[in-house]
């Protein structure tokens, strides 16, 4: 399978997984744990998270693990950006340095593939 298609699948998986994590976090923060099962946001988050895992598995079945798995780390970038934008969490220079490190790492691994 084409590396561009695999890359897109993994990036979409990372986006969905990060969004799922964020929705689960919102569900856990907003509702008491005993009542969590009653709220849609928790289930939607779980669905997105599970769907991202299925996409990762598919990508791993079609591509080299040394190419696919480093792309999974882009989910950290989505999670940071979503957390800042939707949860109002704060960014600092260390988080920005971490994002830059992830991007550089993914690029270097991609070049090596």
pLDDT tens string, the chain, 113 residues long: the values are 788 999 999 999 999 999 999 998 888 877 776 776 678 888 899 999 999 999 999 999 999 888 888 888 889 889 998 999 988 999 999 999 999 998 898 888 878 77
Terminal-residue alpha carbon distance, the chain: 14
Token representation of residue 113: 């593939």
Q: Return all residues near 83 (Cβ < 8 A) that are at least 6 apart.
A: 22, 89
Helix ranges, the chain (H): 3-30, 40-62, 65-72, 74-87, 93-112
Question: Based on the number of CB atoms within 10 Å of its own CB, is 31 exposed (0-12), middle (13-18) or buried (19 or more)?
Answer: middle
Q: Return all residues near 79 (Cβ < 8 A) that are at least 6 apart.
A: 18, 21, 22
In 3D, which of 82, 76, 62, 70 has the Cα closest to residue 112?
70
Rounded CA separation 99/23 (Å): 22
91 phi/psi in degrees, rounded to 5:
-95, 150
DSSP state of 36: G
């Amino acid at each position: 399978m084409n590396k561009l298609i695999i890359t897109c699948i993994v990036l979409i998986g990372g986006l969905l997984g990060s969004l799922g994590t964020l929705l689960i976090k919102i569900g856990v923060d907003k509702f008491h744990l005993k009542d969590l099962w009653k709220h849609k946001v928790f289930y939607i988050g779980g669905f997105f998270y599970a769907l991202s895992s299925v996409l990762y598995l598919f990508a791993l079945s079609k591509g080299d693990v040394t190419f696919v798995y480093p792309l999974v780390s882009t989910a950290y970038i989505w999670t940071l950006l979503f957390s800042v934008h939707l949860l109002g969490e704060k960014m600092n220079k260390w988080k920005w340095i971490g994002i830059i490190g992830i991007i550089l790492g993914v690029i270097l691994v991609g070049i090596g593939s």
